[in-house]
Structure 1
Amino acid sequence: MIEILLQIVFWLSIGALLHSYVLFPFILYVLSKNKKQNSIVYSRSDNLPDITILMSVYNEELVIENKIKSILNTSYPKERLKILIGSDASNDNTNRIVERYAKKFSGIVLYPFAERQGKPNVINKLKSYADTEIIVLTDAKVYFTEDALFQLVKHFENPEIALVGANLLNKHIAHKGISLQENAFMSREIQMKYHEGLLWGLVVGAYGACFAIRKQFLSTVPKNFLVDDFFITMQVIKKGKKAIYELNSICYENVPGVLKEEFRRKVRISTGNFQNLGRFAHMLWPPHKPIAFAFLSHKVIRWLGPILIMLSFISSAILANQNTFFFTAFAAHVIVLLLPLVDQLLKLLKVNIQVLRFITHFLSMNIALFVGLLKYFKGVKSNVWQPTQRNQ
């Protein structure tokens, strides 16, 4: 009886992981292949809506000038553009740089905060100053291409659409560190979000780096929540509106190359993910609804990935003496878990084998998920943190 239960645990764990990482992306690709993107859009000759860009910044002196330039260099009409920047107690030259541009362009307004607030709290406060129907949320380290804003905003001609995510591309991908692996992960994620939007008019969490939203659907993020973009997106879906992705709205960001820095960021995101799971678990039922299927397949199973990996490892270890298959499965687990050590040793010798690096990236991100889960159980007392140096 125990042997049967262990086999069930093993196959459910492996099956769930394969579903989330392999089967679900394939299902999305196949089912969305003949689907069309929203066609109710503004044309370039239309009277485009006024928009407000909201940014929370903290010590961004190295990137804020280029960020502002990238906004002002877009094709979107300047007379319809406002930029509200909340400086979260920056103590470098960020404020002075923003003030210099505010003198040149009246649409830029700086809101300096004397004490650290955390990005979600800054955005909560900035949105009260926005007086346009459409709001664009973006990070300082993300640069717009010329057509990025128009491609985002054009979809709001359709009254059913409340949120549109941008296509985040990466520059300067190095073959050392984890740049290549993180780029592959993000590219795949955006494609999945795009396919979800085509299929069901929903996105299981827009990237906070850049997305546009109707102000009336920009929900106030709860105190001490860490992952505001996921919360905001799920609230849009919960209220019955559509969220989609626009691949032609292109923004650029440098990908991280340092595993330690990205691990720290992923731990924080993981903690925030479990906050959101606690808030939106009810959306997993009834299971036949598209949001329930997408939420479970795309996110929840992945968030529980480290537990599923541990269950498959433990069950295969106990069953290893029973037959050759489970002995092989256990041995495979051990080998895969040891490969990151091999990767690190080769790295010291300046040898970069990308297949090994992908395994290192996958396992380290799952460890980060587990650490984040433990931090969630301990409780989150603040959403203020030191950002990773992605573009600096």
Structure 2
Amino acid sequence: MLTLFAISLAVLVYIFIGYPLVLALLSGLLARPVRRRDITPEISLIISAYNEQDVIREKLENTLALDYPREKLEVIVASEAADGTNAIVRQYADRGIVLHAYENREGKAATLFRTVPRARGEIVVFSDANALYHRDALRKLVRNFADPHVGCVSGRLTYVNPNGTAIGQGETTYWEFEFLLKGMLSRMMKLSGGVNGSIFAIRKSLYLPVDRFRGDDFELSNRIQISGHGVILEPEALSFEEASATSRQEFRRKVRLATWNLQSTLILMREALSAGDVLTAFILFSHRFLRYTTPLWLGSLFVSNLFLREGVLAWLFALQVLFYLMAAAGFVLEKRRLPVKTLFLLPFYFCMVNGAALLALMKNCTRKTDILWEKAR
């Protein structure tokens, strides 16, 4: 039991403390500056949509107001919608919005696979229907492609939490930590942790189809990286999304994404090692694989500590129990729509994320993978 306890504790310390410190060191040693320059290549902005009639009009108006030469911007809505989304999009045909409507619901990856080859832009920007861009977001994204080594650029996702929901506060805190890690990865042009699916751009010539059972943006960006091109973060290219209103909604979304991305992580690690890209394989292992296995290490730490309750280990066990009790309190408060203070919010959100990861692991083990997308929010 002592060995299991020690291993579990060591892995968890590495995931949350050791890995960020290693990244800080590597990003200082392996930094590669990006040669940015203001350019205006032809862009195809592809908006993925599934039953988005409530938000698609605002998205199109936001897109048409972006600061980018209109003659160099192609806007495509790739839709598998069965509601009124397509009818709304058709109202914008005279303003240059192109609708690619597909009847069979095959999932986001399959929809993009059918749409990207039909795009005319040199640069393809991928967006979601519920993501609103800052006016200069496209210019900020594409200026990085002045550097011929750059193959993919991710913008920065910012969550808006107008209702002050607990789950929204937790999501905001999570993304602040993730943004810190991605900034260090970007300095090495190794954004293996993943691009933001609501705002990222690639050179069209580098597009590769992604299996519809896996994460499209995560796998596509890493494949571009493994092929030898730089993948970076542009922190000034801003995308805004409204945070999930409930923990149930956010939990389902995280299970879906973790299920897809876990499969992709294992495949990409093997491909990176085969290509001799040890750094990418290391980042994928540390940033994704170990993080998805966190609930297993948390469980083994708790169970082993249950049998090792002497001296300082007794205090550590008591702290674990207290942490999970605070998470349970946060869950109850959120369910009753009562204010959740930070003391309970962070344990609650942490446990929700790891509960989603555990369910994703189980789905992968039983091969119960859902390829179909849901509404963006």
TM-score (norm 2): 0.92
What SS does the aligned partner of 1:243 have?
strand
Name the counterpart of 2:3.
Answer: 8
What is residue 293 of structure 2 aligned with on the other side? 304
Residue 350 (structure 2) aligns with: 362
**Counterparts of 1:174 and 1:11 in 2: how far apart (Å)?**
42
Question: Is 1:210 aligned to 2:199, yes or no?
Answer: yes
Alignment of 1:341 onto 2:328: yes
Contact 1:194 1:203 in 2 (8 A): no
Aligned residue among 236, 244, 247 for 2:235? 247
1:262 aligns to what?
Answer: 250
Q: For 2:69, give the aligned amino acid.
A: P
CA distance in 2, matches of 1:37, 1:60: 40
Partner-residue secondary structure (3-state), 2:347: helix
Distance 2:31 2:360 in 1: 38
Query: Structure 1, residues 175-220: CA drift from partner, whole Å, max 9, x if none?
Result: 4331111011122212311220113443321111110001122210
Query: Could you tell me how far apart the structure 2 residues matched to 1:204 and 1:72 are?
Result: 31
Q: CA deviation at 1:231?
A: 0.7
Gap change, CA 1:53 and 1:285, over 3 Å in 2: same
Please give the secondary structure, in 1, of the residue aligned with 2:225.
helix
Q: Structure 1 residues 278, 349: CA separation in 2 closer, same or farther (over 3 Å shift)?
A: closer
Q: Which residues of structure 2 form unaligned runs of 5+?
A: none
Match of 1:379 among 353, 364, 367: 367
How far apart are the structure 2 equivalents of 1:346 and 1:133?
50
Shift of 1:15: 2.2
1:17 alignment partner, one of 12, 18, 35: 12
Q: Report the AA paired with residue 322 of structure 2.
A: I
Task: State the Cα RMSD in Å.
Answer: 2.3
In the alignment, is residue 188 of structure 1 matched against residue 177 of structure 2?
A: yes
The match for 1:161 is 150
Counterpart position of 2:37: 42
- Equivalent pair of 1:28/1:192 in contact (CA under 8 Å): yes
Cα distance change, pair 349–277 in 1 and its aligned pair in 2 (3 A) = closer
Decide whether the 8 Å contact of 1:49 with 1:80 is kept in 2.
yes
What code does the residue aligned with 1:274 have?
Answer: L
Q: CA deviation at 1:7?
A: 2.5
Partner secondary structure for residue 35 of structure 2: coil
Is the alpha carbon distance of 1:153 and 1:284 closer, same or farther for their aligned partners in structure 2, counting shifts above 3 Å?
closer
Label 1:151 to 1:237 Cα distance change in 2 as closer, same or farther (>3 A).
same
> 2:56 aligned with 1:69, yes or no?
no
Shift of 1:10: 1.7
Residue 83 of structure 2 corresponds to: 92
Instruction: Report the secondary structure of 1:41's partner residue.
Output: coil
Task: Give 1:233's aligned residue.
Answer: 221
Matched residue count: 375
- State the 1:297 CA deviation: 2.2
Q: CA deviation at 1:135?
A: 0.4
Q: Aligned with 2:254: secondary structure? A: helix
Partner of 1:101 in structure 2?
Answer: 92
Q: Contact conserved, 1:319 with 1:327, CA < 8 A, in 2?
A: yes
Give the structure 2 partner of residue 3 of structure 1. Answer: none
What is the CA–CA distance in structure 1 between the aligned matches of 2:207 and 2:323, rounded to whole Å?
43
Task: Spell out, residue by residue over 1:42-61, the C-alpha distance to the aligned partner (whole angstroms, 9 max, x if none).
Answer: 32xx5x21010112201111
Q: Which residues of structure 1 form unaligned runs of 5+?
A: 1-5
> How big is the shift at 1:40?
1.9
Moved more, 140-149 or 19-28: 19-28
Is the alpha carbon distance of 1:211 and 1:330 closer, same or farther for their aligned partners in structure 2, counting shifts above 3 Å?
same
Measured after TM superposition, the shift of residue 351 of structure 1 is 4.2
Q: 1:239 to 1:380 in 2, by over 3 A?
A: farther
Tell me, yes or no, if the aligned pair for 1:204 and 1:233 is still in contact at 8 Å.
no
- Between stretches 311-320 and 299-308, larger displacement belongs to 311-320
1:271 aligns with 2:263: no
CA separation of 1:164/1:100 partners in 2, compared to 1, >3 Å: closer, same or farther? same
- The answer for the alignment partner of 1:293 in structure 2 is 282
In the alignment, is residue 282 of structure 1 matched against residue 270 of structure 2?
Answer: yes
Q: TM-score, normalised by structure 1?
A: 0.89
1:69: how far off?
1.6
**How far apart are 1:373 and its partner, in Å?**
0.9
After superposing the two structures, state which structure 1 stretch, 255-264 or 283-292, moved more.
283-292
- Give the Cα separation in 2 of the matches to 1:35 and 1:293: 14
Match of 2:316 in 1: 329
- Residues 9 and 381 from structure 1, CA distance in 2 versus in 1: closer, same or farther, beyond 3 angstroms? closer
Task: Identify the match of residue 178 of structure 1 among 164, 167, 170.
Answer: 167
For the 8 Å contact 1:167–1:248, the answer to whether it is kept is yes
1:39 positional shift: 4.1
User: Contact 1:17 / 1:305 at 8 angstroms: preserved in 2?
Assistant: yes
Q: Distance in 1 between matches of 2:329 and 2:369?
A: 38
1:57 to 22, 30, 49: 49
